[in-house]
Structure 1
Amino acid sequence: MAEDLKIISGNREEQYKSLVPQIKALLTGESDLIANLANISAALKEQFNFFWVGFYLIKNKELVLGPFQGPVACTRIAYNKGVCGTAWAMKETLIVPDVEEFPGHIACSSLSKSEIVIPVYINNEIIGVLDVDSEQLNTFNAIDEKYLKEILSLLN
């Protein structure tokens, strides 16, 4: 398959519905986790132009920066620290409309205003988190959560 995405406009849900099968095609037949995480990050960044999209992977009891698209980022995040560490500890999605109001938020970039973090599971084991940041307040909602989880399920 050619590694080109068909980028569409429209509402957020229509964009996800177009993107999910394209990501599935990118991942089909590829078993390397890092390659797949890199392509997921790139596809999300290209379709939505989010400020930052990437993965933190659990290594030695902390989150370590993995494949991402966007400006440089924090390299390590402790368990239960910041939005990413908290989502990992709670094992649940966190949607933060305004990062300034999240207790203990780690500001990797002062330009980030809202965030969604979703735990990544492979074979029912949490291996890290997907972190998506926006330069706008209140960017993320249940639609993002639904489709980002669907995309992450393609890793199994």
Structure 2
Amino acid sequence: MSTAVEGETKAEAYIRLGKEIAAIVAGENSHTARYATAACLLAHNFGPRFFWTGFYVVDPLKPDQLVVGPYQGTLGCLRIPFGRGVCGAAAATGETQLVPDVEAFPNHIACDSRSKSEIVVPVYDAEGQLAAVLDVDSAELDAFDADDQAGLEAICQTLLTA
């Protein structure tokens, strides 16, 4: 498993990680295994800036809710309804949510009060249906930017399965 490389830009780190994650999950059909791999590598490469890194998966029995999936970090919320909080907003809109200050976000859910900023990226299956969201929290305000968004969106593309 790789870790952050000294002198590497954030954009370069995302490219490296994207390739590494794609190579590890190639041929693996389990979403759990794919998501666990991505959460682990992201957390180990960008920690401590990545305070909580993980996935909330669309519940097949309650398709208007997300249920916690593989993650690295402190205890996460167990369920999040679509439209509620940053994860629910990403699920409802199908768009990445880049939030510099979670306290200013309507209906924010404080799973851990130390979380100050957040980025949530939708993850789609091969048919284009929402399968999950990748949620990354930071204990720092304004911790994420366009490089994080582009890098995380590209990594989420590597998680597609048939």
1:43-91 Cα offsets, whole Å, 9 max, x none, are 0000001100000011112110000000011100111000100111111
Question: Could you say which residue in structure 2 is the equivalent of 1:138?
Answer: 142
Q: Is structure 2 residue 107 aligned with structure 1 residue 104?
A: yes
Runs of 4+ in 1 over 2 A off after TM superposition: none
1:67-124 Cα offsets, whole Å, 9 max, x none, are 0000011100111000100111111000000001101100000110000001110121
Aligned equivalents of 2:57 and 2:99: distance in 1?
Answer: 20
Question: Could you say which residue in structure 1 is the equivalent of 2:14?
Answer: 16
Whether the 8 Å contact between 1:83 and 1:106 is mirrored in structure 2 is yes
Kindly state the Cα deviation for residue 6 of structure 1 after the two structures are TM-superposed: 4.5
Question: Could you say which residue in structure 2 is the equivalent of 1:127?
Answer: 131
Aligned equivalents of 1:128 and 1:17: distance in 2?
Answer: 22
- Helix, strand or coil: the match of 1:132? strand
Kindly state the Cα deviation for residue 7 of structure 1 after the two structures are TM-superposed: 3.0
Question: Could you say which residue in structure 1 is the equivalent of 2:153?
Answer: 149
Aligned equivalents of 1:56 and 1:14: distance in 2?
Answer: 26
Aligned equivalents of 2:123 and 2:17: distance in 1?
Answer: 19
Match runs of 1:37-56 below 5 Å: 37-49=35-47, 50-56=50-56
Aligned equivalents of 1:77 and 1:6: distance in 2?
Answer: 31
Give the paired residue count: 153
Whether the 8 Å contact between 1:8 and 1:18 is mirrored in structure 2 is no
Kindly state the Cα deviation for residue 14 of structure 1 after the two structures are TM-superposed: 2.0
Aligned equivalents of 2:31 and 2:95: distance in 1?
Answer: 21
